[in-house]
Amino acid sequence: MPVKPKKILVVDDDHDFLESMQLLLLDYGHEVIPASNGKDAIEKYAEYWPDIVLLDFKMPGIDGYEALLHIVKLDPDARVVLTSAYAIDDAQYKRAVDASLLGLLPKPIEFANLARAIAKYAR
């Protein structure tokens, strides 16, 4: 990735996906903060203030949309990109964009798209 190392909060309830994203991003020199649910994501955001958040949309409990709202309340300049293996309806996506969502990376995430999102959206 042709960007300087970033502090990236990766949030996903799929342990295998979370681990593989963490290993990939670490290989490119990024600092990775893993979180396995929305509550954990909000707490870790408040603790680490990452440069960008890769946030799974569909999670049990606090889903990605709710976590986005909490994170933006903590930091109106939060840099959040949703990830999802599922279709997100247009109304949900529009509400998320209105709440300052920057983009969506469909799973499986292509490396080139991930690199572009980090370069474009991270602080």
User: In residues, how long is the chain?
Assistant: 123
DSSP 8-state class, residue 10? E
22-36, 46-60, 65-79, 99-113: the lowest-pLDDT one: 99-113
Does the pTM surpass 0.85? The reply is: yes
For the chain, the domains span 14-109
**Domain 14-109, CATH:** 3.40.50.2300
What span, in angstroms and rounded, lies between the C-alpha atoms of 55 and 107?
Answer: 12
Instruction: Confirm if 25 and 1 have CB atoms less than 8 A apart.
Output: no
What is the average per-residue pLDDT within 101-114? 92
Q: What does residue 95 show for φ and ψ, rounded to 5 degrees? A: -60, -40
The values of phi and psi at residue 104, to 5°, are: -135, 130
Are 99 and 72 contacting, i.e. CB atoms less than 8 angstroms apart?
Answer: yes
| Mean pLDDT for the chain overall | 92
